Amino acid sequence: MKKTGSQIIIECLKKEGVEVIFNYPGGAVLPLFDELAHAPFQKILVRHEQAAVHAADGYARASGKVGVVLVTSGPGATNTVTGIATAYMDSIPVVVLTGQIPTYLIGNDAFQEADIVGITRPCTKHNYLVKDIKELSRIIKEAFYIARSGRPGPVLVDLPKDILVESTEFKYPDKVTIRGYRPVYEGHPGQIQRAVTLILKSKRPVLYVGGGVISSNASKELIQLVEMLGIPVTMTLMGLGAFPGNHPLSLGMLGMHGTYRANMAVMESDLLIALGARFDDRVTGKIESFAPQAKIIHIDIDPTSISKNVKVDLPIVGDCKRVLGKIITLLEKEDTHAYKEGLQKWRRQIEGWKAIYDLNYRQEGMIKPQFVIEKIFELTRGEVIISTEVGQNQMWTAQYFPFMKPRTLLTSGGLGTMGYGFPAAIGAQIAFPNRLVVNISGDGSFQMNSQELATAVQYRLPVKVAILNNGCLGMVRQWQEFFYEKRYVCSSLEGVSPDFVKLAEAYGAVGLRATQPEEVVSTLKKAFSIREPVVIDFVIDPCENVYPMVPAGEPLNQMRLI
């Protein structure tokens, strides 16, 4: 049967199991919106296209499914760029459908024309301009396949308006064949065997776990491996939740704001097992002096991640889950008990570092941000999805909230996008209507996408926003304090932010405020009991900083402590 381009797209999305479309309409995509009237998708109208992508991204991170976005041409498309780049840097599967002016006008600087395929080429895993309706269903099929397979990432499909209204026979391809794209999942058996040998020879091993473990759903295998071998685990920001944060072998996060023991353990280790991590500069500090005594095993699905920043001794290209599974199978034939016992001394050494210095703060005077975060953990017992913004709020959350399960932290790690967290929380709430979703925010970041309060209210999404309001762009202020002799240029928001309680109320949400430490728990309890969007303005100590801190470009063991 013949179908229009719009109908074909809807059929394709159905076949892909799409449930939700985060969208914002406009002229170029109206034919498709018209068809959406009868389509079985939840349609979430956001208030800014950037937020549509962040919401789809949050939905994807929380659920593991592909997030879907639909926007119009020109400004609609360009507004998605930050969202796309955010998803790209963190390897999140999102499909972005953009309207485009009709094919016969492309290149004419027509009204609302933007070369979005050109603009997003370096920040998508792949992108397409559909030039012929006969290619439409194949392209959509490929887009979803590429987004979710291998190292996941965003894929954009640009849809000229004439393609949406033309008709052709519809047939959904049964399978995808892209001759230039064949992700490797299995891992080389010889390399895996060599990894086992290296591991069993090590005396001071550390597992360095990144977001790849979460995207490959490899937590179970990771925990099993750690239980077998007793190897301590440190996680990157993206890896938090891959291994239970309160496990005795969790060292917490490493890197610029990592724990003392995690950074020391890496620097003193004789074997570093990198799992789905990419040796980002915020993790390694000064690269030449990173883990100087360690042999490095690197397991990653993306060959370009391997030996990009750090020379690796034993690379294994493959999916973390499968490779870990095979390592475990091989280890089952070995005397892992003796090995585990042999690591006693190493574990004690790490305990010693913990005794020398651990994360700390004192709840005196004004509300401390760490206190709020700890209370959120206590009250929810970790049964919550947390999203963060960027800055101090993000680092304190990473440090003080022990994430217990994968996909419970949504945060922009690679790009570091302020304004990510709130729309991402909305996306996660849509994926899990009955779970508690809390966005830990800053007074700066919240204002980058606060318009999404309207979306939360419209769809009655009971998202909670906990603003750690320090009256400044805290992380910028911290750098100015440390590295620019306290010249606080353009980093103060004191007295110039809106009243967040009134702002929430203006949108029809609930606004609460806590100014005293005693109010923190009761305010959180109240917020958590309300089945509506709630914004909580925690007026916190404006001088609080994130410690420890390794200044950019310094070796990991050069930590500023307090």
Partner 1 sequence: MRHVITLLVENEFGVLARIAGLFSGRGFNIESLSVAETLDPTISTMTIVTRGDDAIIEQVIKQLNKLIPVIKVVDLIDKEFVEREMILVKVSTTPQTRDEVLRIAEIFRGRIIDVGNKTYTIEVTGDEKKIDAILGLLKPLGIKELVRTGRVAMARGSKSSTEL
Ligand X SMILES: Cc1ncc(C[n+]2csc(CCOP(=O)(O)OP(=O)(O)O)c2C)c(N)n1
Q: Footprint of partner 1 on this chain (CB under 8 A)?
A: 117-118, 121-122, 125-126, 129, 131, 146, 178-181, 302-304, 306-308, 311
User: Coil, helix or strand for 438?
Assistant: strand
Catalytic residue among 3, 125, 141, 161: 161
Q: What residues contact residue 131 under an 8 Å CB cut-off, 6+ apart?
A: 103, 160, 163
Residue 445 contact among partner 1, ligand X, none, beta carbon within 5 to 8 Å by kind:
ligand X
Residue 72 Cα distances to 25, 68, 278, angstroms: 6, 14, 34
Question: Which one of the spans 54-62, 212-220, 252-260, 414-422 is the region binding ligand X (CB under 6 A)?
Answer: 414-422
- In the complex with partner 1, the residue whose CB is nearer, 147 or 206, is 147
- In the complex with partner 1, the residue whose CB is nearer, 45 or 119, is 119
465: left (phi over 0), alpha (psi -120 to 50) or beta: beta
User: Coil, helix or strand for 321?
Assistant: helix
Instruction: Establish if 442 lies at the interface with ligand X (CB under 6 A).
Output: yes
Residue 361 contact among ligand X, partner 1, none, beta carbon within 5 to 8 Å by kind:
none
Tokens of 49: 């296209």
- In the complex with partner 1, the residue whose CB is nearer, 101 or 546, is 101
Instruction: Establish if 445 lies at the interface with ligand X (CB under 6 A).
Output: yes
Instruction: Establish if 389 lies at the interface with ligand X (CB under 6 A).
Output: yes
Site string for ligand X, 268-307 (x = CB under 6 A): ----------------------------------------
**Rounded least distance, CB 180 to partner 1, Å:** 4
Instruction: Establish if 474 lies at the interface with ligand X (CB under 6 A).
Output: yes
Distance of alpha carbon 73 from alpha carbon 26, whole angstroms: 7
**Rounded least distance, CB 125 to partner 1, Å:** 8
**Length reported for the chain:** 562
**Rounded least distance, CB 445 to ligand X, Å:** 3
Instruction: Establish if 392 lies at the interface with ligand X (CB under 6 A).
Output: yes
Distance of alpha carbon 138 from alpha carbon 136, whole angstroms: 6
Burial tier of 189 (Cβ tally within 10 Å: 0-12, 13-18, 19+): exposed
Residue 470 contact among partner 1, ligand X, none, beta carbon within 5 to 8 Å by kind:
ligand X
Instruction: Establish if 468 lies at the interface with ligand X (CB under 6 A).
Output: yes
Tokens of 261: 């023991």
Distance from chain centroid for Cα 551 = 23
Site for ligand X in 106-165 (CB under 6 A): none
Instruction: Establish if 473 lies at the interface with ligand X (CB under 6 A).
Output: yes
Distance of alpha carbon 114 from alpha carbon 99, whole angstroms: 10
559 is catalytic: no
Instruction: Establish if 443 lies at the interface with ligand X (CB under 6 A).
Output: yes
Residue 473 contact among ligand X, partner 1, none, beta carbon within 5 to 8 Å by kind:
ligand X
Which of these, 319, 370, 331, lies nearest to 544 by C-alpha position? 370
Tracing tokens 């360690």 back to the chain, one arrives at 294
Contact 401, 372 (CB under 8 A): no
Instruction: Establish if 416 lies at the interface with ligand X (CB under 6 A).
Output: yes
Tokens of 18: 């799409």
502 is catalytic: no
Residue 340 contact among ligand X, partner 1, none, beta carbon within 5 to 8 Å by kind:
none
Neighbours of 342 (CB within 10 A): 13
Contact 6, 70 (CB under 8 A): no
Mark 535-549 as b/e (b = at least 16 C-beta within 10 Å). Answer: bbbbbbbeebbbbbb
Distance of alpha carbon 286 from alpha carbon 193, whole angstroms: 31
Burial tier of 73 (Cβ tally within 10 Å: 0-12, 13-18, 19+): buried
Instruction: Establish if 166 lies at the interface with ligand X (CB under 6 A).
Output: no
Q: What is the DSSP letter of 472?
A: B
Q: Which of 475, 514, 524, 536 binds ligand X (CB under 6 A)?
A: 475
Question: Which one of the spans 124-132, 136-144, 223-231, 468-476 is the region binding ligand X (CB under 6 A)?
Answer: 468-476
49 is catalytic: yes
Residue 129 contact among ligand X, partner 1, none, beta carbon within 5 to 8 Å by kind:
partner 1
Would you tell me which residues interact with ligand X (CB under 6 A)?
A: 389-393, 416-419, 442-445, 468, 470, 472-476
**Residues with catalytic roles:** 49, 111-112, 161, 475
